[in-house]
Structure 1
Amino acid sequence: MTEVIDLGEYGAQFRRDPYPVYARLRERGPVHRVRMPAPDGHHLVWLVVGHAEARAALADPRLSKDAGKFGRTFLDEQLIGTYLLVADPPQHTRLRGLVSRAFTARRVAGLRPRIQEITDDLLDAMLPRGRADLVESFAYPLPITVICELLGVPEMDRTAFRRMSTEAVAPTSAESEYEAYVRLAAYLTELIEDKRCAGPGDPPGDLIRTTGEDGDRLSPGELRGMAFVLLIAGHETTVNLITNTVHALLTHPEQLAALRADTSLTDAAVEETLRYEGPVENATFRYAAEPLEIGGTAIGQGEPVLIGLAAADRDPGHFPAPDRFDIRRDPRGHVAFGHGIHYCLGATLARVEAGTAIRSLLERAPGLTLDGPPGEWLPGALMRGVVSRGAMTGYRRPRPRPAPCGRRNRRRSAASR
């Protein structure tokens, strides 16, 4: 009889710091049968905590993302529709091919000036106050503004959208999770209809009109699912990445000092945060399409598998002294953005946003310090980050930022005109 480990028994401490538990599990083996806390009770799953096993499992075609093949249905698919994270090839290949052109390195590079402009505006508003909630004032509005401008979400809708999306990815109860998905589905359907008449050059309209070489296009349900995953994944993960990077730096003063002495290490600091305290704790569910073995453990057909991204990236077998935050470390091989065909579509955009945010914040807030402990960590097994309340960051009043000569009037999004 395989031992079942109830992770819920570790209580709030597990949410705050799951790494000691993952380390003890890893010492006993790379794969374990666990009971995960969930809003509707619990989920009995196979949890992969070893790095080599996690990386292999992420790219294993025998692990399916399509729960419907095994008689399982979830709220997201029921109310939103099929999207990249719950599809297998060839459907996944088709969907990703139709949307991936919006997130090429060239397209993301073209967004850098606007990302910097949004960052500067947020810091202009935040820094003179001398004290602010980092999540509420900076880490959240930066990525949500970028992705909402890309998809044409009106500015007046963004606060409501944030509440819906946060409850969907880190639900506090089964009832509130259901309500969030119902509202998200209705909102996205209306948004898509509003954008069908958008002219050329309008990003949401371009996505709706995207056509493959064979004339293939996204159906209405697929458009809703694509908008869902782009909006949710396009900002929730980046909020956590920015917040986790700032928190890691402020709680490791020697690393912060090293970064201030050499700002060329900013991207390295972001990459180390992805390994050390990545924004996604566990990948979304996979299911064994056939009997298989992971790390010497037999997995039965149809059984759910949860790949522990956070656990894998603290594996000492791959990363020496993994619990040490070191911005000069070589973190290559981390799985914070996944691996294989489901590698995060927006990884390049997230890195650019986080790098811009950290570089600008440290430059303009030379006395940046923690103003107390962070807020509560997000509930659930998916996201790794703090909720906004209580995540306070204080700093000394910054030096004035000189205005660039001949600076043009700032471009405003169509939604804010």
Structure 2
Amino acid sequence: MDYMKHFIDRFVFFLRYDKRLLLSFCITLAPAALAYFVEGASLFGWSLSGVGFIWLLYESYVSYIAQRKGHAEKIKFPTHLSRRLPPHAFLVKCNDGVAISYSSINSNLDALRISFYTIDGHYQIPQNIREIYGNIFNYKNIRPDTTNDEKVRLCSDIDNELSTSHQDISLAIQKTDYFSSYITNEAGNLAVRRVDGSSRANGIDYYYRDGRILALSESSASNHIGVSLLVVSSDGYLLYQLQGEQEQGKQMFGPTASGSLDWADVEKAALVGGNDFSRLVRIGMLRELTEETSALELDPQGKIRLTGYCRYLTRGGKPEFFGFARVSQRHDEVRIVPRRERKKVSRIETYKIDCKSRVSFLQSLSAFHKHIKSQMIEHTLSLETSAILLERYIRELSDDRYQEIMC
């Protein structure tokens, strides 16, 4: 069943942009369906393998054509962007990854009243990108067991002025999918060149043009919303993970939980909180936490604190929200329980944090930051950004507010 799910996901995605696949599918499926009525389910299942064979031939054809037209290669982040940042913006760098965050938004994010509204229809990959998707898939070598889940695209920006003045903010979202992000956002650090070496497409164009970083409302990328969460246990341990076999951050240290909003999160948020965007983000964070670990119970306050927001420039300007929470379990009670998540998480790591005061917490967090940088295993940009934004969030709290949250 998993094999068919992966096949159907890929088939539906490519069918949306390449109608030639429909003919090959129907030609193969017709005798398989006939065999079901003549010989029964076993022959039908055997005949379906022919669909997979046709699919492999088609993927080989796409790869061959893509290679004849050119190839994709990794490009370095343009350093001159560091000198042209908008006010209140700062960059976070880790390994080859670069993110941009905004202190004016982060300072008010947890208290902002943000609503969302839905744009009809499904996100469509621009025509110029459809012409080179074969090059990108060849370079990225997407895992065959990756499913094309429905994701949430962020179509508008958190306005700096509105966030500072604490006015109500309304954000537009739209349904998208994981593969669309792979073709657009994940090509943000790639250039596609023709056989003669001339440029055919540049991933920088997804987020930077005419000397400025593009707003989400101007971006042609999928821009599905990512979430990252750091958790401290009841006995004062910061929990983070060694990530497993996955597309992003393979075998690297990452936050306690990270992933992206599913469209099902939007449907759940609509049931429990109407169009509250902050609630939607927290629902996604909690789902990722419970999918990847056994940390099911939040602290008595029962709240995830939103510590910040960024856009991953080396991932085409993809938006990401960050959070922090206390859980009721001790550190040795939090484990990787669901079998299906073992590929995502290899093991849970811990680091002792002194939570007695705001100052001691900041000192422990600074020591943790140095600790992960000293390890032989690399850590993800999401963990780097999570630690920096959490430190900034705690630093801006009053001592009384800190005690209210942590105790």
Which structure features the higher share of strand residues? 2
| TM-score normalised over the length of structure 2 | 0.24
Using structure 1 for the length normalisation, give the TM-score. Answer: 0.24
Larger fraction in helix: 1
Q: Which has the larger radius of gyration?
A: 2
Higher relative contact order (CA 8 A, sep 6+): 1
